[in-house]
């Protein structure tokens, strides 16, 4: 652990501090603002950023800073869990399909085809119409479609990796399939999935915005960055701050996660 943190550039530490800040917002939002993120104030509609409202207010008079702070919890949860479950599942599926090949691969890939063939929108609207909207169903929607990318990426890499001499050597040594898959192939193929996962955190958080567009967003008035950006869409030319600040937080969080992830993985590779 200490090795990992050694000799990291200052930008790495800046990213870590920012992420800790966001984490703190998620855990104890009350420390950052005294405003209630859902309280409406008819006397201060659409106010510019000021000392009273750092990020301004929206057309229901809600404090944008408070909404951004309170939104951190949900966004971190969405970014992390919505990414993690499909990432792990998809990686295992891709690994299995690529390693065993033949009919196992064929069956898995055809199931994947079925999932790919349904446009996301059809799936999402079906889920909303049948189950209604809500955070639980938001996860269901993302999980249902999120694993495909990992499975395909990992499988494509496994196809290459398994032909290497190293793997055939492991086979002749009589290692178990599971051991070869997870000990020998996985480390070689996980890179693409890892890189994708970092961007995927952002894509998952942004799903909030796209899904609000389709009506499967987080239930109002719960603050969530993507949903706040969607709400700010009608005010882009008049009250830019509604969409700009959550957008900035989203971008900074994304960049920080990537910098930290990168720093750690680089060190791990050097050590390993």
Partner 1 sequence: MKKSYGKLLAVMAAAVLAMTGCSGSGTEESSGSGEQAGSAQAGSTDAAEETEAAADGERTVVTIARDFDSTNLDPVMTANNVDIWVLNMMVEGLVTSSDDGQEIIPAVADTWEVSEDGLTYTFHIRDGIKFSNGEDVTIEDCIYSIDRAKTADGPWIGMLDMIDTMEDGGDNNLVITLTEPSPAFLSTLAMFSSSIMPKDYCEEVGTEGLAENPIGTGPYVLQEWNRGERMVFVKNEYYWEEGSPKVDEIDMVVVADDSTRIMQLQSGQIDVATMIPYSRVDELQNMGGLTVNLFDSTDVRFIVLNCQNEYLSNKSVRQALNLATDKEAINSAVYFGHGQIAQSFLAPAMPHYKEDLPAVSVDVEAAKQLLADAGYPDGFDLTVEVGSGDSTILQTATMLQEQWGEIGVNLNIQQIDIATARQNWQAGEYDVFLSNMTSDMTDTSEVAGLWCISEQANCWRSYWDDADQDQAEELCRLGNSEMDEELRMDYYGQMQEVVADAVPVIPLVYAPFAVVTSDRVTGLAQTPLGIYNVKNMEIAE
Partner 2 sequence: MEELTYIVKRILQMIPVLLIITFIIFFGMRLIPGDPALLLVGNRASDEVIAATRARLGLDEPLFTQYLLFLKQCLTFDFGESMTLRAPVTELFAQKAVITVSLTLMTIVFAILISFPLGYAAGVKHDSKIGSFIDSLSLTFVSVPEFLVGLVIMLIFALRLKWFPVGGWGDTLGERLHALILPAFTGALGTAALVLRNIRGNVIQVLDKDYVDFAYSKGLSPWKIRTRYIFKNVLISTVTLLAMRMTYMLAGSIVIESVFALPGIGQMMLNAILARDYSIVQATVYLFSIIVLLMNLLTDIAYSLLDPRVKLN
The item of partner 1, partner 2, none sharing an interface with residue 269, based on CB under 5 to 8 Å by kind, is partner 2
Give the contact letters, 138-177, x = binds to partner 1 (CB under 8 A), - = no. ----------------------------------------
247 binds partner 1 (CB under 8 A): no
- Whichever of 35 and 256 has its CB closer to partner 2, that residue is 256
The item of partner 1, partner 2, none sharing an interface with residue 116, based on CB under 5 to 8 Å by kind, is partner 2
The item of partner 2, partner 1, none sharing an interface with residue 199, based on CB under 5 to 8 Å by kind, is partner 2
Tokens of 264: 């750690």
CB distance 44 to 62 below 8 Å:
no
229 binds partner 1 (CB under 8 A): no
Angle at 267 between CA 264 and CA 270, to 5 degrees: 150
The item of partner 2, partner 1, none sharing an interface with residue 121, based on CB under 5 to 8 Å by kind, is partner 2
Cβ count within 10 A of residue 215: 11
Tokens of 156: 């494509």
Closest CA to 181 of 100, 77, 85, 260: 100
Q: CB neighbours of 107 closer than 8 A, spacing ≥ 6?
A: none
Tokens of 81: 């869990």
Cβ count within 10 A of residue 6: 8
Interface residue list for partner 1 (CB under 8 A): 38-40, 42, 45, 59-61, 125, 128-129, 132-133, 213-217, 219-221, 231, 233-238
């Amino acid at each position: 652990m200490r090795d990992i943190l050694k000799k990291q550039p200052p930008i790495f530490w800046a990213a870590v501090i920012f992420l800790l800040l966001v984490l703190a917002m998620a855990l104890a939002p009350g420390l950052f603002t005294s405003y209630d993120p859902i309280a409406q104030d008819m006397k201060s509609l659409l106010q510019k950023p000021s000392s009273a409202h750092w990020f301004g207010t929206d057309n229901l008079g809600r404090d944008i800073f408070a909404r951004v702070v309170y939104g951190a919890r949900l966004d971190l949860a969405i970014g992390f869990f919505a990414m993690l479950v499909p990432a792990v599942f998809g990686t295992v599926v891709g690994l299995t399909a690529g390693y065993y090949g033949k009919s196992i691969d064929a069956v898995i890939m055809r199931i994947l085809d079925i999932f790919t063939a349904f446009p996301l929108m059809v799936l999402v609207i079906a889920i909303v119409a049948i189950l209604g909207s809500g955070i639980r169903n938001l996860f269901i929607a993302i999980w249902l479609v999120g694993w495909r990318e990992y499975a395909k990426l990992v499988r494509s890499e496994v196809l290459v990796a398994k032909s290497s001499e190293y793997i055939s050597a492991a086979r002749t040594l009589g290692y178990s399939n599971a051991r070869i898959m997870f000990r020998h192939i996985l480390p070689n193929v996980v890179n693409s999935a890892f890189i994708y996962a970092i961007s995927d955190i952002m894509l998952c958080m942004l799903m909030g915005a796209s899904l609000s567009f389709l009506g499967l967003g987080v239930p109002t008035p719960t603050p969530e960055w993507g949903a706040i950006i969607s709400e700010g869409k009608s005010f882009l030319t008049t009250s830019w701050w509604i969409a700009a600040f959550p957008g900035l937080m989203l971008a900074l969080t994304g960049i920080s996660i990537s910098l930290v992830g990168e720093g750690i993985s680089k060190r791990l590779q050097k050590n390993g």
